[in-house]
Amino acid sequence: MTDFVKTHVANGTGVITLDRPRSLNSLSLDMVRALTDALLAWRDDPQVDAVVLRSTSEKALCAGGDIRFFYDVGSAPTTGGSASLEDFFTEEYRLNHLIYHYPKPYVALMDGVVMGGGLGIAEAGPRGLRVVTDGTKMAMPEVNIGLFPDVGGSYFLSRAPGRLGYYLGLTGLTIRAADALYAGLADTFVPQAQMPALAQLIESTPGAQLREALVAFAAPFAAGAAMLETERTTIDRHFGAPGVQAIMDSLASDPGEFAQKTLAAMGKRSPLLMRVTFELLRRGATMELAGCLRLERILVRRNFEHGEVLEGVRALVIDKDNAPKWNPPALSEVTDEMVAQFFASPWPDRAHPLRELQG
């Protein structure tokens, strides 16, 4: 399996510790499988009443998927069809679904960097508890590399208050703890200085009482003011426009610093994938998580076939020239047909790799 995922059970709590600090706990296929194996083993284990996900490093819970792996495999002659690439996304999305619907309290300690796939393994459902700190740096930055907000992003971003999900998905910009709480992407705040005490509480509290104990522990602490709350009216006004071009035109008409910084960020993103992301969030708002993950799985296949994500990773991670050659290069050149192709399933419904997911 992998040395990067450690598991143990203490006092009725199953503890998963990510230990790949040099890569900010970026997820490999082996790590996805180790996480899945642990959660499946504990799901029906009467000796386990709760689960905690944490990291050995305060720098990151998880920075997302291993994008160097995506590039290496996706750049091979079998672009879009590599078995290991297909397996990664299929199994990662199944893991996201398992976590969201987990029948026991699932606590994610979202300290440090939590981005992309990191949110996917932290965004538990109603029984979950998502803890952020003053060290939290959260984002769904996929449009930066020519991808789209996946791992259930079409579900949880589309349900953020107002148009916050569109802002986060289309810009890929990083937010902090107070913003995560305001956007509904986290539940409670604990200062980094209190994390050792929190770890001690986890070890000493019976799993059946853990969620309530953690909520009580966090109650005295406040994350401060949220930038998203301060700018909420501006975000809703601009990102309430009916399409990406309309959003950017609206931002361009606003001389305010926030609007201009937002516009500048969007000007660096993949025009095609911003259009795809807008349509994905529009559809995701009316779908259950399983349907969102199935749709995202279609988009992943189409994205690697197109190659936009490979160019994005090349520019930002491999060559580091920060000059991606997006295809098409301009928003005005993205057609409705190009966007529609991303949503055209390569599989009949009966053969979709995530056809068994429910709810």
Which residues are marked as active site? 65, 117, 142, 150
Contact 110/272 with Cβ under 8 angstroms? no
The encoded tokens of residue 249 equal: 């035109």
Cis peptide leading into residue 271 (ω within 30°): no
- Contacts of range 346-353, beta carbons closer than 8 Å, 24 or more positions apart: 346/298, 346/301, 346/302, 347/298, 352/294, 352/297, 352/298, 353/86, 353/90, 353/297
Cα separation, 246 vs 243, in Å, equals 5
Query: Judging by beta carbons within 10 Å of its beta carbon (0-12, 13-18, 19+), is residue 336 exposed, middle or buried?
Result: exposed
DSSP letter, residue 65: B
Cα separation, 173 vs 164, in Å, equals 12
DSSP letter, residue 188: E
